[in-house]
Amino acid sequence: MRFNKEKDPENYYREQLMLYTSWRNEQKDLMNGCQTYQQRYNQLEEIAATNKKQYECHTDILDKAIDDINDDNITQPVAPNVQHLNEQDLATKTKPSKLFGCFDPGTNKQHSQYDLYYDIGILLRSNDDEKLVQKRLLDSDFRQLLCSLNIKQREFFYHVLHSIKTSVPTEVS
């Protein structure tokens, strides 16, 4: 959990003892007659420090990063470039594809009401109690099929995928 030494010293020292000393029973071996975990840690500090050096190489960098994340006074975003790109994407309206603009569910009512059930081999249910049969591909089969597409098919596939992922759901009246 990486307890903070200043904010929660007992849990910090308990964690250090559990990670870097040998023990089987928490009350018997870990505490070993001491009143607090800090007292016991002070007794085994050299052993814990040696073991800590062996297993943790960059603790100072990690601790600083955790402190920075927990710091409430951070004014800079953690990933400014990603945030900037996301803002640009949101500001930019999607443009219809030159190649596949003919299939645009947002502008053509016929396309928005198009039913893919027949294309993928799922028949409409006549009884609501009947379970929907789904044909699922293994990931490896899907990748193999995707690799077998020609350039125009692949562009169309990615165009439709992008349209689905970036479209804003509209209410159907």
Over the chain (173 residues), the average pLDDT of each successive run of 10 is 84 90 84 89 90 79 76 61 71 64 62 65 60 73 86 86 75 55
On whether both 47 and 109 belong to a single domain, the answer is no
Q: 12 is written with which tokens? A: 């910090």
Q: How many domains does the chain have?
A: 2
Give domain status of residue 138, yes or no.
yes
The answer to whether the beta carbons of residues 111 and 105 sit under 8 Å apart is yes
Kindly tell me the sign of the dihedral angle through the C-alpha atoms of 34, 38, 40, 42: negative
On whether both 56 and 112 belong to a single domain, the answer is no
On whether both 103 and 39 belong to a single domain, the answer is no
pLDDT at position 2, please? 74
The answer to whether the beta carbons of residues 58 and 65 sit under 8 Å apart is no
Q: Which residues contact 59 (CB under 8 A, 6 or more apart)?
A: 52
On whether both 112 and 155 belong to a single domain, the answer is yes
Give domain status of residue 29, yes or no.
yes
pTM value > 0.85:
no
| Contacts within 8 Å (CB) and 24+ apart, 22-25 | none
Give the domain extent around 61.
Answer: 9-70
Round to whole Å and give the CA distance between 44 and 17: 8
Buried b (16+ CB within 10 A) or exposed e, 79-114: eeeeeeeeeeeeeeeeeebeebeeeebeeeeeeeee
pLDDT at position 42, please? 92
Q: 106 is written with which tokens? A: 């947002």
pLDDT at position 105, please? 58
On whether both 63 and 21 belong to a single domain, the answer is yes
